[in-house]
């Protein structure tokens, strides 16, 4: 890997770190959420009836079930989600977004949109955007294939 390659990689990591820290600080201040909690609420908000099985939610978050449980413990304590047992299989835990959780997620989602525009897309020209999207799609595809194979 040449110096330019390493330079690009380090800049990518630094930019990612700065973006995440800035968004998480704003998210914590405005909505009382961590990025992991926001991610869980986002997955639930897109799910049918705002609910998923615990294993499905953990997989969508790319977390182990134990790590997802810790995130959900805090969301449950805050009244943003509720956990119940599946009626057909009592071994299965179902996680559902509450109305308060939907309200908090709506606010957080608006903040997220403003953050993306201010800190990411505002720095891409119309000509650059399709190239960046193409690069990120190729990178993601490559990494997913490497993980599956």
Q: Are 81 and 99 spatial neighbours (Cβ–Cβ below 8 Å)?
A: no
Q: CA geometry: angle at 104 spanning 98 and 108, to 5°? A: 140
3-state secondary structure of 53: strand
Residue ranges and CATH numbers for the domains of the chain are 3-148 (1.10.10.10)
Q: Mean of the per-residue pLDDT values for the chain? A: 92
- Whether 92 shows a pLDDT value over 60: the answer reads yes
Look at 90 and 13; give whichever has higher pLDDT.
Answer: 13
How many residues appear in the chain? 149
What single-letter DSSP state applies at residue 125?
Answer: -
Residue 4 pLDDT level (bands cut at 50, 70, 90)? low
- Whether 147 shows a pLDDT value over 80: the answer reads no
pTM comes to 0.85
CA–CA gap between residue 27 and residue 109 (Å, rounded): 9
Distance of CA 37 to the CA centre of its chain: 8
- Whether 5 shows a pLDDT value over 70: the answer reads yes
- Whether 1 shows a pLDDT value over 60: the answer reads no
Per-residue tokens: 61: 């978050």
């Amino acid at each position: 890997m040449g110096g330019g390659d390493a330079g690009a990689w380090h800049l990518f990591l630094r930019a990612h770190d700065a973006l995440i820290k800035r968004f998480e600080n704003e998210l914590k201040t405005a909505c009382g959420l961590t990025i992991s909690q926001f991610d869980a609420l986002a997955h639930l908000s897109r799910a049918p009836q705002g609910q998923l099985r615990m294993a499905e939610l953990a997989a969508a978050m790319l977390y182990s079930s134990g790590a997802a449980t810790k995130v959900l413990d805090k969301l449950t304590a805050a009244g943003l989600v509720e956990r119940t047992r599946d009626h057909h299989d009592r071994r299965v835990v179902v996680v559902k977004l509450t109305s308060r959780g939907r309200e908090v997620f709506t606010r957080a989602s608006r903040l997220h949109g403003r953050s993306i525009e201010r800190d990411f897309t505002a720095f891409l020209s119309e000509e650059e955007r399709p190239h960046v999207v193409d690069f990120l799609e190729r990178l993601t595809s490559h990494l997913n294939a490497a993980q599956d194979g």
